[in-house]
Amino acid sequence: MITVKNVSKTFNTPTGKVEVLKDIHFKVDKGDIFGIIGFSGAGKSTLIRCLNGLEKPNSGDILIGENEITKLNRKELRSARKKIGMIFQQFNLFDSRTVYENIAFPLEISGYKKDKIKNRVEEILELVELSEKRDSYPLQLSGGQKQRVGIARALANEPDVLLSDEATSALDPQTTFSILELLKNINQKLNLTIVIITHELDVLRYCTNNMVVLEDGHIVERGNTENLFLNPKSDTLKRFINITEGIQKSRKFSGGEGI
């Protein structure tokens, strides 16, 4: 479904060139929930921007379905992006629009007729369990409800791929759990390919089937999520596991709970 071949990306800065991605390659099968994890500065954000065509790699190829993202012109890329849903950490909702209107927005700019928009929005509202909030505004919603609206909007154009960019980082553990449950439910119901980019190890452990570990622009480890957790090889993954275990012990001691 997704093939990333030998992707590298360099940025020019006042102090010289900085290579952010270095010969990245991996595959994501159709219907998989795939994780990408790394500490700050590892290249996660640049990688997701390359996947949706917001950044163009200096070298390498990215294929999503039948579209070779790195070879498309502007018009073709705009069309391809309709089939790549994005959910964000900060929700990116329009405060002046209702829940219904936020979800309808991508359908409006795609030129759908009102009847089609109405049917599709109501269908998605039911899927994300927000039908009763259709006429509410973002400022009237909790963080978890806002993220459900963000997910619903990302699903509006019936995408083939859903990219999640740190989508649970601003949420508390209980709300994070509910959002991950929703993503798993969407994956199962729609057979939708989901790529989760995060620095939260618990998110990958709970939700993904396969994953890669980024360090300084390189992939330092890849494979089945459960196997990697049981037998980490890279220093980066070992550090993540140690930090996560420390946080969980602290929460247990203080009476809190993780995912």
CATH number of the domain at 229, please.
Answer: 3.40.50.300
The whole-model pTM stands at: 0.91
For the chain, what is the domain count? 1
User: For residue 80, is it within any domain?
Assistant: yes
Residue 128 lies in a domain: yes
In a domain? residue 16: no
pLDDT in tens, the chain (259 residues): 899 999 999 999 898 999 999 999 999 999 999 999 999 889 999 999 999 999 999 999 999 988 999 999 999 998 899 899 999 888 889 999 999 999 999 999 989 999 999 999 999 999 999 999 999 999 999 999 999 999 999 999 999 999 999 999 888 989 999 999 999 999 999 999 999 999 888 899 999 999 999 999 999 999 999 999 999 999 999 999 988 776 666 666 665 555 6
Residue 191 near residue 223 (C-beta atoms within 8 A): no
User: Which two tokens mark 32?
Assistant: 């998989």
Q: How far apart are CA 217 and CA 1, in angstroms?
A: 23
Looking at residue 58, what DSSP letter applies? S
Q: Has residue 51 been placed in a domain? A: no
Give dist(CA 227, CA 224) in Å, integer.
5
pLDDT digits (tens, 9 = 90+) for 110-151: 899 999 999 999 999 999 999 999 999 999 999 999 999 999
Strand ranges of the sheet holding 2-13, from the earlier edge strand across to the other edge: 16-28, 2-13, 59-64, 67-68
Range of the domain at 77: 31-42+73-208+223-247
For 182-209, letters b (16+ CB in 10 Å) and e give bbeebbeebebbbbbbbbbbbbbbbbbb
Per-residue pLDDT of 160-190, as tens digits, reads 999 999 999 888 989 999 999 999 999 999 9
Q: Which amino acid is at 100?
A: Y
Residue 11 domain-assigned? no
Residues 217, 85, 11, CA angle at the centre, nearest 5°? 30
| Predicted pLDDT of residue 90 | 86
Residue 133 lies in a domain: yes
Q: Is residue 18 part of a domain?
A: no
